[in-house]
Amino acid sequence: MSTIPNIINVLAKDNYLLEIYFDDGKYKEIDVKQFIKNGVSSRLLDIEYFKKVKVQEGFICWDNGYDFCPEFLYNL
């Protein structure tokens, strides 16, 4: 069983793109708009709110409770 590296930094860009940096040196740019639907995630449609993303305990998250786990993002 392999260990998924932790997310160490995230930068939000326009058009719902996230630059994600993992502690193994891997970098990914991911368009997360496809994952923004109804419910909790709909708050992220406000681009200024979207840009308030942060790293917390290896996950990326927003204050409304919406998050992505590192394994999911690493394997996209």
pLDDT of residue 2: 64
Q: Each residue of 25-45: b (16+ CB within 10 Å) or e?
A: eeeeebebeeebeeeeeeebe
**For residue 4, what pLDDT band results from cuts at 50, 70 and 90?**
confident
Q: How many C-alpha atoms does 50 have within 13 Å on its Cβ side?
A: 19
What pLDDT was estimated at residue 5?
Answer: 87
Q: How far apart are CA 45 and CA 64, in angstroms?
A: 13
pLDDT band at residue 3, thresholds of 50, 70 and 90? Answer: confident
Q: What is the pLDDT of residues 13-31, one digit of tens each?
A: 989 999 999 999 999 999 9
Report all structural domains of the chain as residue ranges with CATH numbers, in order of start: 7-74 (3.30.2020.10)
pLDDT reading at 32 higher than 70:
yes
